[in-house]
Amino acid sequence: MGKKILIVDDEQAILTLLSMHLINKGYETFTADSIEGARILFEEIDPALVITDIKMPVSSGLELLRVVKGASPDRPVILMSGHAELKDAIEAIRLGAFDLIVKPFDPEEVSKRVQVAIRCYELSCQKDELESILDTINDAITLHDLQYIILRANRAAHELLGKDRLVGLKCYQAFHDLNQPPNICPIHLAITERRFTKEEFFEPAVGKYLELKALPRIDKKGNVIGVVHIVRDITAEKEAEKIKTELLSNISHEFRTPLNGILGLADLMIDQNNLTFEQREYIELIRKSGNDMVRLVDRLLALSRYELGNIIPHELFFDLQMFLLKSLKPFETLAKEKGLYFTIDIKANGPYLVKTDPGKLREALCYLIDNAIKFTSEGGITVSLTTNESDGFLISVTDTGIGIPTDMQGLIFKDFIQSGSLLTKRHGGIGTGLPLAKRLIESMGGTITCSSQEGKGSTFVVQLPAVVKVQGR
């Protein structure tokens, strides 16, 4: 059935005419010949629209208008009158009547006005529903126009800023108490640069860590018409990260003491001359397992330091080609022990002088190559260098290993992630190598990307800036 319409008039001919005409237009109509009967029907059927005559024998249609608006302020009411007085029309407007029809009327004209009234009511209901949904979201959400004026603000936005009124204010006044938008403001960047922006910071005014996102609203013609701004309280996440980092650091330090004791005693025992071959083999296994544990502890310590932001690069000039050839030489032995080839492919006419942190670059590459050897059982690993004097240099680590499933490739740089528990059991490790490599490379202003095909291998590409070709060598 169509939308419900309540028609009220003391003339039966009017009721019949309007009712039949609107039924033919697809509406469901209900009629009443008195205001009292209309009140009862209104509560029973909950109509989308009320059409009522102003002049009634006992009570005025204006009284019904007051009842409807009192129960549902957005519900449209169309008033009819054959001899409407000016004061009645003014009072109808004051009370919120949607429209006024003067008798005699054209039924087609009435149906057009009915269509408009019901459409407006539907839009109002949709607006109320959307605002209700917005108010259930814990993130603070505000809508802005191109003049930075707040058009909408949900409950969370008012609670976060501690303000009863936000709509109509300039965002930089409401959020920052400034007279103009700061250049780094996500809303400002979304408007001026037409791009999605995101940032995290600690806001002293509210004592919380906040994540800000701003997304430009684009119309069908491609024009920016406003901004959606979302603020999320990430204080709990930041505090959890801090607790995790401190816990990792404490546990790692506590592991160090007994491990040093185990390895120290193993070194003393291995120097004894009266050991049998079997005893010496057992002690070597203890030393190997202990050293493996030390490496794991070192990674946990590094991860805890880097979580706290303690990655300060110490930039030096050095020969990139010579650096790779010397730094990666030990991996040839490790690869050969597994029956793998290990190749360093220099695709550049050098030598090239670079300025970056050699220690952190070496550490990052060690994580990548160690990972490649661990997950490769046939074939081998190739480390390639290509340079570009304007863009910097690329170092690629390519293996012929097991590869990474497509659904895991977006997660491999997250802490303690490996692509499946079976791999953890088979190959060991706790999923810290790739996250550490990423943090190190990014601390030097570089990027790291991965491409992989399951069952065929993976390639990790490190890009860093600052390459200077050395002349005359």
Mind listing the pLDDT tens digit for each residue in 7-37? 999 889 999 999 999 999 999 999 999 999 9
In a domain, 18, yes or no: yes
Side-chain-side CA neighbours of residue 176 (13 Å): 15
Task: Extract the tokens encoding 89.
Answer: 């029309």
Query: Which pLDDT value is given to residue 68?
Result: 92
In a domain, 238, yes or no: no
pLDDT at 144 over 80: yes
Query: Which pLDDT value is given to residue 390?
Result: 63
Same domain, 172 and 279: no
Give 449 or 83, the one with higher predicted confidence: 449
Same domain, 111 and 217: no
Q: For the chain, what is the mean pLDDT?
A: 83
In a domain, 89, yes or no: yes
In a domain, 226, yes or no: yes
Q: Give me the domain span that covers residue 146.
A: 138-233
Same domain, 402 and 427: yes
Neighbours of 349 (CB within 10 A): 8
Same domain, 394 and 271: no
Side-chain-side CA neighbours of residue 182 (13 Å): 9
Q: What is the pTM of this model?
A: 0.48
In a domain, 454, yes or no: yes
| For residues 331-358, average pLDDT | 84
pLDDT at 114 over 90: yes
Same domain, 219 and 160: yes
Query: Which pLDDT value is given to residue 427?
Result: 45
CATH of the domain at 449: 3.30.565.10
CATH of the domain at 202: 3.30.450.20
Same domain, 270 and 223: no
Query: Which pLDDT value is given to residue 388?
Result: 67
Choice among 27-31, 55-59, 104-108 with the minimum mean pLDDT: 55-59
In a domain, 272, yes or no: yes
CATH of the domain at 81: 3.40.50.2300
In a domain, 55, yes or no: yes
Same domain, 323 and 411: yes
- Condensed to tens digits (0 to 9), the pLDDT of residues 39-53 reads 999 999 999 999 999
Domain boundary pick from 205, 233, 261 = 233
Band the pLDDT of 81: cuts 50, 70, 90.
Answer: confident
Give 430 or 120, the one with higher predicted confidence: 120
Query: Which pLDDT value is given to residue 276?
Result: 87
Same domain, 290 and 187: no
Domains: count for the chain: 4
Same domain, 301 and 320: no
In a domain, 302, yes or no: yes
Query: Which pLDDT value is given to residue 473?
Result: 46
Query: pLDDT above 90 covers what percent of the chain?
Result: 28
Band the pLDDT of 113: cuts 50, 70, 90.
Answer: very high
- Condensed to tens digits (0 to 9), the pLDDT of residues 389-446 reads 666 788 999 999 998 888 777 778 775 555 444 444 444 455 577 888 888 888 888 8
Same domain, 423 and 457: yes
Domain boundary pick from 182, 206, 233 = 233
Band the pLDDT of 84: cuts 50, 70, 90.
Answer: low
Band the pLDDT of 336: cuts 50, 70, 90.
Answer: very high
Same domain, 144 and 129: no
| For residues 254-276, average pLDDT | 82
pLDDT at 158 over 70: yes
Same domain, 325 and 216: no
Separation between Cα atoms, residue 32 and residue 20, nearest integer Å: 14
Tell me the range of 141-155, 157-171, 201-215 where mean pLDDT is highest.
Answer: 141-155
Band the pLDDT of 249: cuts 50, 70, 90.
Answer: low
